[in-house]
A and B are shown apart, each in its own frame.
Chain A
Amino acid sequence: MLTKTGKNSIPVGFPEVVKDQPSGRDVALETRHLSRAIEDKVLVNDISVRVQQGEILAVVGPSGAGKSSFLRLLNRLDEPTSGTVLLDGHDYHEIEPRELRRRVGMVMQMASLFPGTVAANIAFGPQQRGQAISPDQIEALLDRVGLRNYHERDVSNLSGGEAQRVSLARTLANSPEVLLLDEPTSALDDASQRGIEELVLSVIRERRMTCVIVTHDMAQAARIADRIMYIEAGELVAIGLTEEVLHAQSTVP
Chain B
Amino acid sequence: MLNQLFHDPVTLRAAQAIGAAIFALVVAYLARWAGIRLQRETVVALVRGISQIIIVGLLLTFVFGSAQWLSAFVLLGMMLAGAVIAAQRTKHIPRVMRVTSSAILLGAGLVIGIMVLLGVIDTAAATLIPVGSMLIANAMNTTALALDRFRAEVEAHTGQIEAGLALGGAANVVIGPYVQAAVQASMIPSVNNLRSLGIVWIPGVMAGMVLSGSDPIEAAIYQFVVVAMLFATAGTTALLCALFVRGHAFSPAEQLLLRPGEPRKPAPVPVSLYP
Contact = CB atoms under 8 A, between A and B. Distances in A.
Nearest first, the 9 A-B pairs at minimum CB distance are A112-B159, A102-B168, A112-B163, A106-B166, A125-B167, A79-B269, A101-B168, A97-B253, A98-B168
B274 A167 contact: no
Interface string B256-275: 10000011011111101111
Contacts of A170: 167
A71 B275 CA distance: 23
B169 interface: yes
Given A79-B270, A97-B253, A128 B160 contact: no
B169 A105 contact: no
B266 A38 contact: yes
B169 A124 contact: yes
Contacts of B273: 79, 93, 97
A156 B269 CA distance: 37
A128 B168 contact: yes
A97 B253 CA distance: 6
Nearest to A180: B166
Interface string B240-261: 0000000000010111100000
Contact of A98 (B170, B251, B266): B170
B168 A174 contact: yes
A37 B267 contact: yes
Given A41-B263, A96-B275, A78 B168 contact: no
B165 interface: yes
Contacts of A79: 251, 253, 255, 266, 269-270, 273
B91 to A, nearest CB: 16
A47 to B, nearest CB: 16
A110 B167 contact: no
Contacts of A171: 166-167
B46 to A, nearest CB: 42
Interface in B148-185: 159-160, 162-170, 173
A247 interface: no
19 contacts: A38-B266, A39-B266, A77-B166, A77-B255, A79-B251, A79-B270, A81-B269, A95-B275, A96-B274, A96-B275, A97-B274, A98-B254, A105-B166, A106-B166, A112-B162, A128-B167, A128-B168, A128-B170, A171-B166
Nearest to A100: B168
Nearest to B275: A94
Nearest to A124: B167
A97 B254 contact: yes
Chain A, interface residues (CB within 8 Å), range: 35 or more
A99 interface: yes
Contacts of A75: 166
A15 to B, nearest CB: 33
The residue among B164, B167, B170, B256 with the most chain A CB atoms within 10 A of its own CB is: B167
A46 B266 CA distance: 18
A233 interface: no
A129 interface: yes
Contacts of B268: 81
B263 A101 contact: no
A125 B168 contact: yes
Contacts of A76: 253, 255
A79 B163 CA distance: 16
Nearest to B269: A79
B201 to A, nearest CB: 35
A88 to B, nearest CB: 15
B32 to A, nearest CB: 44
B257 to A, nearest CB: 10
Contacts of A36: 267
Interface string A113-144: 11000000000110011000000000000000
A118 B162 CA distance: 18
Given A97-B253, A102-B168, A171-B167, 11 more contacts: A37-B267, A39-B265, A39-B266, A39-B267, A95-B275, A112-B160, A113-B160, A114-B164, A124-B167, A124-B169, A174-B167
B165 A101 contact: yes
A125 B165 CA distance: 9
Contacts of B263: 38-39, 41
Given A75-B166, A101-B168, A110 B275 contact: no
A72 B59 CA distance: 56
